[in-house]
């Protein structure tokens, strides 16, 4: 069983987050997969962004505010 850290991008509303998650690689057909703790970390980040709880979200990931660009 091998593990690899990968950056995931999460987009919720006007925010985008870069979060590091650990993927587990095995010989199983479902490989690679997230552990329960890693999946819960992603869920916690999504919920914090939906609720505009930037303090909690920034403790889990790097947060960006997205601004629409108007082209005339």
Tell which residue, 61, 51, 58, 52, has the closest CA to residue 10.
61
pTM: 0.86
Report pLDDT for 39: 95
pLDDT tens-digit readout, 8-64: 999 999 999 999 999 999 888 888 999 999 999 999 999 999 999 999 999 999 999
Contacts of 56 (CB under 8 A, 6+ apart): 44, 48
pLDDT score of 1 more than 80: no
Report pLDDT for 30: 82
Report pLDDT for 72: 87
């Amino acid at each position: 069983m091998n593990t690899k850290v990968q950056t995931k991008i999460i987009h919720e509303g006007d925010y985008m987050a870069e979060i590091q998650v650990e993927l587990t690689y095995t010989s199983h057909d479902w490989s690679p997969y997230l552990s329960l703790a890693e999946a819960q970390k992603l869920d916690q980040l999504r919920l914090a962004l939906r609720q505009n709880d930037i303090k909690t979200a920034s403790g889990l990931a790097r947060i960006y505010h997205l601004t629409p660009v108007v082209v005339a």
